Amino acid sequence: MTTFLHPSAQVDAGLLCGHNVVIDAHVRIGTNCQIGNGVVIHSGTQIGDGVRIDDYSVIGKLPMRSRQSAMTKEVELSPCIIEDGCMIGAQTVIYRGARLEEGVMVADLATVREESAIGAFTIIGRGVAVENKVKIGTRCKIETNAYVTALSDIDDDCFIAPEVTFTNDRFLGRTRERFRYHRGVTMLRGARIGANSTILPGITIGEDALVGAGSIVTHDVTARITVFGSPAREVRPVPTEQLLESQ
Amino acid sequence: MTTFLHPSAQVDAGLLCGHNVVIDAHVRIGTNCQIGNGVVIHSGTQIGDGVRIDDYSVIGKLPMRSRQSAMTKEVELSPCIIEDGCMIGAQTVIYRGARLEEGVMVADLATVREESAIGAFTIIGRGVAVENKVKIGTRCKIETNAYVTALSDIDDDCFIAPEVTFTNDRFLGRTRERFRYHRGVTMLRGARIGANSTILPGITIGEDALVGAGSIVTHDVTARITVFGSPAREVRPVPTEQLLESQ
Amino acid sequence: MTTFLHPSAQVDAGLLCGHNVVIDAHVRIGTNCQIGNGVVIHSGTQIGDGVRIDDYSVIGKLPMRSRQSAMTKEVELSPCIIEDGCMIGAQTVIYRGARLEEGVMVADLATVREESAIGAFTIIGRGVAVENKVKIGTRCKIETNAYVTALSDIDDDCFIAPEVTFTNDRFLGRTRERFRYHRGVTMLRGARIGANSTILPGITIGEDALVGAGSIVTHDVTARITVFGSPAREVRPVPTEQLLESQ
Q: How far is B24 from B41, CA to CA, in rounded Å?
A: 6
- Give the one of C38, C121, C126 whose C-beta lies nearest to B129's C-beta: C126
The nearest CA of chain A is from the CA of B7 a distance in Å of 22
Q: Which chains does B contact via 3+ CB–CB distances below 8 A?
A: A, C
Identify the DSSP state of B13. Answer: T
Among C128, C240, C154, CA closest to B174 = C240
Percent of chain C past pLDDT 70, that is, above it, reads: 96
| Phi then psi dihedrals of residue A121, to 5 deg | 65, 10
Q: Within C66-198, where are the H helices?
A: 178-181
Beta bridge partners of C225: C237
Q: Which chains does C contact via 3+ CB–CB distances below 8 A?
A: A, B
Task: Write the ipTM.
Answer: 0.95
* CB atoms inside a 10 Å sphere around CB A33: 23
Q: How far is A149 from B160, CA to CA, in rounded Å?
A: 15
Which band of pLDDT confidence, cut at 50, 70 and 90, is reported for residue B65? confident
Each residue of A197-241: pLDDT tens digit? 999 999 999 999 999 999 999 999 999 999 999 999 999 999 999
Decide: A159 and A141 in contact? Cβ < 8 Å.
Answer: yes
**Which one is predicted more confidently, A117 or C181?**
A117
Is the model's pLDDT at C45 over the cut of 80? yes
Q: Which helix (H) or strand (E) holds B180?
A: helix B178-181
* CB atoms inside a 10 Å sphere around CB A243: 17
Cα B13 to Cα A212, B20, B48, B102: the distances in Å are 56, 19, 12, 20
Interface of B with C (CB under 8 A): 1-2, 4, 20, 22, 38, 40, 56, 58, 61, 64, 66-69, 91, 93, 109, 111, 127, 129, 131, 145, 147, 149, 163, 165-167, 171-175, 177, 196, 198, 200, 216, 230
* Interchain proximity B91–A58, CB inside 8 Å: yes
* Interchain proximity C163–B147, CB inside 8 Å: yes
Interface of C with A (CB under 8 A): 1-2, 4, 20, 22, 38, 40, 56, 58, 61, 64, 66-69, 91, 93, 109, 111, 127, 129, 131, 145, 147, 149, 163, 165-167, 171-175, 177, 196, 198, 200, 216, 230
To test the contact with chain B by mutation, choose from A169, A198, A233 the residue with the greatest count of B C-beta atoms within 10 A, namely: A198
Percent of chain B past pLDDT 90, that is, above it, reads: 87
- Give the one of B37, B161, B243 whose C-beta lies nearest to A40's C-beta: B37
Q: Is the peptide bond before A79 cis (omega within 30 degrees of 0)?
A: no
* Interchain proximity C159–B147, CB inside 8 Å: no
Whole-number pLDDT of residue A66:
59
Q: Averaged over C4-9, what is the pLDDT?
A: 95
Which band of pLDDT confidence, cut at 50, 70 and 90, is reported for residue A143? very high
Q: How far is B90 from A113, CA to CA, in rounded Å?
A: 13
Q: How far is B101 from B121, CA to CA, in rounded Å?
A: 8
Cα B216 to Cα A231, A241, A246, B223, C235: the distances in Å are 13, 35, 38, 18, 16
Which band of pLDDT confidence, cut at 50, 70 and 90, is reported for residue B180? confident
Decide: C234 and C225 in contact? Cβ < 8 Å.
Answer: yes
Each residue of B67-125: pLDDT tens digit? 555 554 556 899 999 999 999 999 999 999 999 999 999 999 999 999 999 999 999 99
To test the contact with chain B by mutation, choose from A111, A114, A215 the residue with the greatest count of B C-beta atoms within 10 A, namely: A111
Each residue of A155-194: pLDDT tens digit? 999 999 999 999 998 888 888 887 777 899 999 999 999 9
Whole-number pLDDT of residue C182:
84
Decide: B117 and B98 in contact? Cβ < 8 Å.
Answer: yes
To test the contact with chain A by mutation, choose from C62, C131, C172, C211 the residue with the greatest count of A C-beta atoms within 10 A, namely: C172
Q: How far is C58 from C34, CA to CA, in rounded Å?
A: 14
Q: How far is A176 from A62, CA to CA, in rounded Å?
A: 27
* Interchain proximity C195–B167, CB inside 8 Å: yes
* Interchain proximity C54–B56, CB inside 8 Å: no
Each residue of C102-159: pLDDT tens digit? 999 999 999 999 999 999 999 999 999 999 999 999 999 999 999 999 999 999 999 9
β-sheet with B40-41: strand ranges across: B4-5, B22-23, B40-41, B58-61, B93-95, B111-112, B129-130, B147-148, B165-166, B198-199, B216-217
Kindly report the average pLDDT of chain C as a whole number.
94
Which chain A residues contact residue C175 at CB under 8 A? 241-242, 246-247
Which band of pLDDT confidence, cut at 50, 70 and 90, is reported for residue C244? very high
Cα angle vertex A41, ends A35, A45, to 5°?
110
Q: How far is B75 from A91, CA to CA, in rounded Å?
A: 31
Kindly report the average pLDDT of chain B as a whole number.
94
Whole-number pLDDT of residue A72:
45
Kindly report the average pLDDT of chain A as a whole number.
94
Q: Is A118 helix (H, G, I), strand (E, B) or coil?
A: strand
The nearest CA of chain B is from the CA of C76 a distance in Å of 31
**For B209, nearest residue in chain A (alpha carbons):** A172
* Interchain proximity B61–C38, CB inside 8 Å: no
Q: Got the DSSP string for C114-145?
A: TT-EE-TT-EE-TT-EE-TT-EE-TT-EE-TT
Whole-number pLDDT of residue A67:
53
* Interchain proximity C174–A241, CB inside 8 Å: yes
The β-bridge relationship of strands C210-211 and C225-228 is parallel
Q: Is A246 helix (H, G, I), strand (E, B) or coil?
A: helix
Interface of A with B (CB under 8 A): 1-2, 4, 20, 22, 38, 40, 56, 58, 61, 64, 66-69, 91, 93, 109, 111, 127, 129, 131, 145, 147, 149, 163, 165-167, 171-175, 177, 196, 198, 200, 216, 230
Q: How far is B163 from A215, CA to CA, in rounded Å?
A: 14
Q: How far is C9 from C29, CA to CA, in rounded Å?
A: 8
* Interchain proximity C167–A195, CB inside 8 Å: yes
Among B35, C131, C104, C216, CA closest to A107 = C131
The nearest CA of chain B is from the CA of C180 a distance in Å of 32
* Interchain proximity B175–C246, CB inside 8 Å: yes
Decide: C83 and C105 in contact? Cβ < 8 Å.
Answer: no
Lowest mean pLDDT among A105-119, B31-45, B175-189, B202-216: B175-189
The residues, any chain, with a CB within 8 Å of residue A204's CB and separated by 6 or more, are: A185, A186, A187, A188, A220, A221
Whole-number pLDDT of residue C180:
77
Decide: B6 and B21 in contact? Cβ < 8 Å.
Answer: no
Is the model's pLDDT at B181 over the cut of 80? no
Q: Is A166 helix (H, G, I), strand (E, B) or coil?
A: strand
Q: How far is C209 from B230, CA to CA, in rounded Å?
A: 21
Q: Which chains does A contact via 3+ CB–CB distances below 8 A?
A: B, C
Q: How far is A219 from B207, CA to CA, in rounded Å?
A: 29
The nearest CA of chain A is from the CA of B176 a distance in Å of 32
* Interchain proximity B175–C107, CB inside 8 Å: no
Which band of pLDDT confidence, cut at 50, 70 and 90, is reported for residue C72? very low
The nearest CA of chain C is from the CA of B179 a distance in Å of 13
Q: How far is B16 from B39, CA to CA, in rounded Å?
A: 12
